[in-house]
Amino acid sequence: MPENPETVLEIDLNALAHNYSVLRSRIRPGTRLLGVVKAFAYGSEAIGIARKLEALGADYLAVAYASEGVFLRKAGIRLPILVLHPQPNGMEEIIETCLEPSLYSPRILREFIKTAQAMEQKAYPVHIKFNTGLNRLGFWENDLEWIDAQLQGTDALEIRSLFSHLAASDDRNEREFTLGQLKAFEGVVKNWEQQFKSRPFYHLLNTSGVFNYPEAQYDMVRTGIGLYGYSNDPETDSLLKPVSSLRTRISQIHKIEPGEWVGYNKGYTAPDFRVTATLPIGHADGIGRQYGQGKGRVYIQGKPAPIIGNVCMDMTMVDISDISCNEGDEVVFFGDGISAEGLASRANTISYELLTGISQRVPRIITGA
């Protein structure tokens, strides 16, 4: 019997360490580095990744929701954890487990003050998020006086940092727009210092920001995808090592006659004699139907095998007519020199979606600890 399960997502912590040092080398020695570990560390393995980032010397972690931070705290993670998108429901949990919320709207700021006061907090660390053009979450620049008024009446909060998020830091054609965002953020921090006579720390850049706008690194950068080995740019991708590899093994091989079909709803009709392999992985594992009909392909013996017909819930069929291989042979979706970004782009999506979509049914194996 093979040692590992057939379908596995292998998480290589040495690759993480490599990417961490590449990103560190792009920022000043005094700039903090925050590792974004939301969504199970971009679909990899949140606890293993968080522990490794802690050991590597990351200054902060970030998650999207309070529950993700609680999960890390229960695993013993001690680093400060920024919660990017807290909801009114998670606020007590945030304080109980020493997470640091992003306060991004009047409603969330008011709710958090109420909770912090009810729990008799003094100078609880929080972060204020400003919208500078993404128009997703954040206060507007002209909310400063309102924020000031809210904070006047209480000593429950301490503003630890101000931040914003770039909308197109990966897109060279949007340089003008991004420079506008940098300028807007600079305006926010200037006005803040005037209004509040305080100097929290500032952060703006995500991974592509670190590579493309290092001049705007301020006091911290927030890197997600780069730590996992992708950077939205072929040139800088070549400096990084993918952390996750998705592999499986051939379940069964079939010889298909001309005119026969394969899979649900006659998704594929053989034009001539074909050899197909059935793989034990499907859309319930995170390989969506958009990869079917020849769009996606996998690698067997280093050769591409197109996905044929419709991806099923638990299975995927590929055409191996030009590859000599056997049942039980290894199949690579990404990793091991095969880019997740490459596979994702064949189905009109991005590495982020493919990586974070690998479902919890797929066993994770951590290597390189």
Ligand X SMILES: *Cc1c(COP(=O)(O)O)cnc(C)c1O
Two tokens at 153?
């009446």
82 binds ligand X (CB under 6 A): no
> Which CB atom, from 161 or from 310, has the smaller least distance to ligand X?
161
Nearest approach, Cβ of 226 to ligand X (angstroms)?
6
Return the amino acid letter for 217.
Q
Q: Cα separation of 157 and 188, whole Å? A: 20
**φ, ψ for residue 32, nearest 5 deg:** -70, 150
223 binds ligand X (CB under 6 A): yes
Nearest approach, Cβ of 84 to ligand X (angstroms)?
5
Nearest approach, Cβ of 222 to ligand X (angstroms)?
4
24 binds ligand X (CB under 6 A): no
**φ, ψ for residue 234, nearest 5 deg:** -60, -35
Nearest approach, Cβ of 169 to ligand X (angstroms)?
8
50 binds ligand X (CB under 6 A): no
Two tokens at 18?
């490599």
Nearest approach, Cβ of 137 to ligand X (angstroms)?
8
The burial class, CB within 10 Å (0-12 / 13-18 / 19+), for 13 is: buried
38 has catalytic annotation? yes
DSSP structural state of residue 31? S
> Which CB atom, from 43 or from 263, has the smaller least distance to ligand X?
43
- List 20, 38, 268, 291, catalytic entry: 38
DSSP structural state of residue 363? P
One of 44, 181, 206, 351 touching ligand X (CB under 6 A):
206
Tallying the residues shown for the chain, one arrives at 369
Q: Is the C-alpha dihedral spanning 121, 126, 131, 134 positive or negative?
A: negative
Q: Cα separation of 206 and 224, whole Å? A: 7
> Which CB atom, from 22 or from 84, has the smaller least distance to ligand X?
84
Nearest approach, Cβ of 34 to ligand X (angstroms)?
8
Q: Cα separation of 335 and 9, whole Å? A: 9
Q: How many positions of this chain bind ligand X (CB under 6 A)?
A: 11
Which has the closest alpha carbon to 128: 88, 176, 166, 86?
86
222 binds ligand X (CB under 6 A): yes
Taking contact as CB under 6 A, which single stretch among the options 145-153, 186-194, 205-213, 275-283 is the one that binds ligand X?
205-213
What is the rounded end-to-end Cα distance, in angstroms, of the chain?
25
Buried b (16+ CB within 10 A) or exposed e, 124-145: bbbbbbbbbbeeebbbeeebbe
> Which CB atom, from 54 or from 260, has the smaller least distance to ligand X?
54
- List 183, 264, 266, 303, catalytic entry: 264
36 binds ligand X (CB under 6 A): yes
243 binds ligand X (CB under 6 A): no
Nearest approach, Cβ of 66 to ligand X (angstroms)?
15
> Which CB atom, from 24 or from 247, has the smaller least distance to ligand X?
24
Most distant CA atoms of the chain, gap in Å: 78
264 has catalytic annotation? yes
The helix/strand count (H/E) of the chain reads as 12, 19
Taking contact as CB under 6 A, which single stretch among the options 202-210, 266-274, 289-297, 318-326 is the one that binds ligand X?
202-210
One of 207, 236, 276, 351 touching ligand X (CB under 6 A):
207
Q: Cα separation of 324 and 132, whole Å? A: 54
Taking contact as CB under 6 A, which single stretch among the options 23-31, 142-150, 216-224, 334-342 is the one that binds ligand X?
216-224
Binding stretches for ligand X (CB under 6 A): 36, 84, 165, 206-208, 222-226
